[in-house]
Amino acid sequence: MQKISPDIDLWLSKNADVPKDMKTVIMKTVRYRVEENKDVDVENIVYILSPVHKRLIMRPLCLDLLKKVPLLEHMDVQVLKAISEHLNWVFYAVESYIIREGEPLGKMFFIRQGTAWTYATRTDHISGGSTSGSSIIDNLEKDDLYGAELLEWAFSFGSFSNLPISTRTVVSQERVEAFVIRAKDLKKIVSMFWWQFSRKLQLHDIEDSLLRQLKYLAISSLLRHRKAMAKRGTGWDKVYSKLIKSD
């Protein structure tokens, strides 16, 4: 504990917005792991916590970020909480490629710490041929979002065969911490809250077969989590009953 305490203090100072009661939980968890002779990654402390404590930390850190995204600013808080619970705290070393231009956009992320460059390939046409190069478009810094196209894909109930293609390359310029959500998790959230996302679309534009499939996926998810959610007093039992009756 004496050896790693300075590193833990540094992590807590860098993440001052972590709820105060969670800081106590973090210290107790670290001490327990040290007493059990287990490894502690002091740069990635969140992942030694229990799933419950991890959610309690991620929610307050992510909700305000999600509310700033135009496509999410009017979304129900339950949807935002579900997204925050599927965000992963990911680290990228200096000069690491986070996303490459021309590849499927399989993730969306917020910069938590550090900076990255985002650029596209430029082709210059000259007599007798052409040359290619890269031009810096923008810096990504703390709280900046990349990959919003993935939200549009999820909102339109897209399939993995038509994932959006990244039009830019993103490469870290220093060590980057990011909150990352992958396409498969966004698709899962849409299936659970399809009635929320359908408000962004005209219902008559959704094929009946897809609508039935979404209702089935939503009900399946609700069946798995019904008891847990009911204990939280979120009113999901009523939603569940309405879905069953309307199926």
pLDDT in tens, 134-189: 576 789 999 999 999 998 888 877 788 899 999 999 999 999 999 999 999 998 88
Q: Do residues 131 and 203 lie in contact, with contact meaning Cβ atoms separated by under 8 Å?
A: no
Alpha-carbon span 233 to 238, nearest angstrom: 11
Q: Give Cα separations from 151 to 32, 116, 154 (angstroms).
A: 39, 21, 5
State residue 24's pLDDT score: 84
C-beta neighbour count of 120 within 10 angstroms: 14
Q: Give Cα separations from 122 to 138, 146, 185, 228 (angstroms).
A: 15, 20, 33, 52
For the chain, domains (ranges, CATH) are 72-182 (2.60.120.10)
Q: Which residue has the tokens 């909150």?
A: 179
Residues of the chain with pLDDT under 70: 122-134, 136, 197-247
State residue 170's pLDDT score: 95
Backbone angles phi, psi at 106, to 5 degrees: -90, 0
State residue 214's pLDDT score: 54
State residue 211's pLDDT score: 53
Report the sign of the C-alpha dihedral through residues 41, 42, 43, 46, in that order: positive
State residue 247's pLDDT score: 47
Task: Report CA dihedral (235, 241, 246, 247) to the nearest 10 degrees.
Answer: 110
Alpha-carbon span 147 to 170, nearest angstrom: 10
The contacts of residue 34 (CB under 8 Å, 6+ apart) are 1, 4, 40
State residue 50's pLDDT score: 81
